[in-house]
Amino acid sequence: MKIKWAKFRRDRMQDIRSFFYQRDCLEVEVPLMGRAVGSDPWLDYYHTEHRAGEKLYFHTSPEFFLKRLLAQGYPDIYYLGPTFRKGEHGSRHQPQFTILEWYRRDQSLEDLLKELLDLIEKINPYFKRERLKKKSYAELFSPLAVNVFDDTLVDLQNKIREWEGKSPEFFDRLEALDYIYATRVEPELVSEEVLIVTDYLPEQAALAQIEVNSEGRQVAKRFELYLNGVEIANAYQELTDAVEQRRRFVDDLEKRHQLGKDIPPIDERFLEALQEGFPSCSGIAVGVDRLLMIISGQKDLKEVISFDFDEW
Amino acid sequence: MANLGANDLKKRVKILVDGEPHLIVDADFVKPGKGQAFTRCKLKNLLNGKQFEKTYKSNESAEETTVSVTEMEYLYNDGTTWTFMDMQSFDQHEVPKETLGGIELFLLDNTKCEVTIWNSRVIEVTPPNFMVLTVTEAPPGLKGDTAGGRVMRPAKLETGAEVQIPLFVNEGDKIKIDTRTGEYVERANG
Kindly state whether A88 is in contact with chain B, defined as any CB-CB distance less than 8 angstroms.
yes
Neighbours of A44 (CB within 10 A): 19
Q: Which of residues 158-187 of A touch B (CB under 8 A)?
A: 168, 174-175, 177-179, 181-183, 185-186
Summarize the confidence of residues B59-87 as an average pLDDT.
Answer: 94
User: Are A185 and A143 a contacting pair, CB within 8 Å?
Assistant: no
Residue B174 host element (H or E): strand B174-178
Helix axes A153-164, A173-180, angle to 10 degrees: 30
- pLDDT in the model for residue B149: 58
Summarize the confidence of residues B36-43 as an average pLDDT.
Answer: 94
Q: How confident is the model at residue B145 (pLDDT cuts 50, 70, 90)?
A: low
- pLDDT in the model for residue A22: 98
Separation of alpha carbons B46 and A307, rounded Å: 34
User: Are A194 and A128 a contacting pair, CB within 8 Å?
Assistant: yes
- Residue B38 has its nearest CB partner, among A87, A177, A182, at A182
Separation of alpha carbons A151 and A121, rounded Å: 39
Task: Please work out, in degrees rounded to the nearest 5, the angle formed at the alpha carbon of residue A40 by the alpha carbons of A34 and A43.
Answer: 80
Residue of B nearest to A177 (CA): B35
User: Are A83 and A62 a contacting pair, CB within 8 Å?
Assistant: yes
Contacts of A186 in chain B (CB under 8 A): 30, 32
Kindly state whether A203 is in contact with chain B, defined as any CB-CB distance less than 8 angstroms.
no
Task: Please work out, in degrees rounded to the nearest 5, the angle formed at the alpha carbon of residue A62 by the alpha carbons of A205 and A56.
Answer: 110
Alpha carbon A26 to its chain centroid, in Å, reads 21
Q: How confident is the model at residue B143 (pLDDT cuts 50, 70, 90)?
A: low
Separation of alpha carbons A42 and B97, rounded Å: 50
Amino acid (1-letter code) at residue B90: F
| Contact across the interface for A177 and B35, Cβ inside 8 Å | yes
Contacts of B5 in chain A (CB under 8 A): none
The whole-chain average pLDDT of chain B stands at 91
Three-class DSSP category at A308: coil
In tens digits, chain A (312 residues) has pLDDT values of 588 889 999 999 999 999 999 999 999 999 999 999 999 999 999 999 999 989 999 999 999 999 999 999 999 999 999 999 999 999 999 999 999 999 999 999 999 999 999 999 999 999 989 999 999 999 999 999 999 999 999 999 999 999 999 999 998 899 999 999 999 999 999 999 999 999 999 988 888 999 999 999 999 999 999 999 999 999 999 999 999 999 999 999 999 999 999 999 999 999 999 999 899 999 999 999 999 999 999 999 999 999 999 999
Separation of alpha carbons A123 and A129, rounded Å: 13
- pLDDT in the model for residue B147: 56
Helix, strand, coil % in chain B, rounded to nearest 5? 5, 55, 40
- pLDDT in the model for residue A116: 98
Q: How confident is the model at residue B142 (pLDDT cuts 50, 70, 90)?
A: low
Share of chain B above pLDDT 70, in %: 94
Residue of B28, B29, B31 best to disrupt the A interface, most CBs of A under 10 A: B31
Residue of A nearest to B6 (CA): A87
Separation of alpha carbons B151 and B173, rounded Å: 17
Three-class DSSP category at B132: strand
| Contact across the interface for A231 and B33, Cβ inside 8 Å | yes
Summarize the confidence of residues B171-176 as an average pLDDT.
Answer: 94
Residue of A nearest to B39 (CA): A90
Q: What is the pTM of this model?
A: 0.85
Kindly state whether B17 is in contact with chain A, defined as any CB-CB distance less than 8 angstroms.
no
ipTM of this predicted complex? 0.84
The Cα of A14 is separated from the nearest Cα of chain B by a number of Å equal to 28
Kindly state whether A92 is in contact with chain B, defined as any CB-CB distance less than 8 angstroms.
yes
- pLDDT in the model for residue B59: 86
Strands of B38-45's sheet in order across: B14-17, B20-30, B38-45, B51-57
- pLDDT in the model for residue A195: 97
Separation of alpha carbons A84 and A86, rounded Å: 6
- pLDDT in the model for residue B139: 83
- What Å distances lie between residue B183 and B7, B84, B103, B165, B188, CA to CA? 41, 25, 13, 8, 14
DSSP A13-41: HHHHHHHHHHTT-EE----SEESS----T
| Contact across the interface for B60 and A178, Cβ inside 8 Å | no
User: Are A70 and A26 a contacting pair, CB within 8 Å?
Assistant: no
- Judge residue A266's burial from the number of C-beta atoms within 10 Å of its C-beta, 0-12 exposed, 13-18 middle, 19 or more buried: middle
Kindly state whether A87 is in contact with chain B, defined as any CB-CB distance less than 8 angstroms.
yes
Residue B23 host element (H or E): strand B20-30
Contacts of A224 in chain B (CB under 8 A): 33
Separation of alpha carbons A88 and A301, rounded Å: 12
Kindly state whether B53 is in contact with chain A, defined as any CB-CB distance less than 8 angstroms.
yes
Contacts of A168 in chain B (CB under 8 A): 57, 60
- pLDDT in the model for residue B146: 57
- Residue A178 has its nearest CB partner, among B28, B36, B53, at B36
- Residue A42 has its nearest CB partner, among B28, B34, B60, at B34
- Read off the pLDDT of residues B118-130 as tens digits, 9 standing for 90 and up: 998 999 999 999 9
User: Are A30 and A64 a contacting pair, CB within 8 Å?
Assistant: no
User: Are A290 and A232 a contacting pair, CB within 8 Å?
Assistant: yes
Residue of B nearest to A207 (CA): B34
| Contact across the interface for A175 and B36, Cβ inside 8 Å | yes
How many residues does the structure list for chain B? Answer: 190
In sequence order, the β-bridge partners of residue A127 are none
Three-class DSSP category at A222: strand
The Cα of A230 is separated from the nearest Cα of chain B by a number of Å equal to 9
Contacts of B62 in chain A (CB under 8 A): none
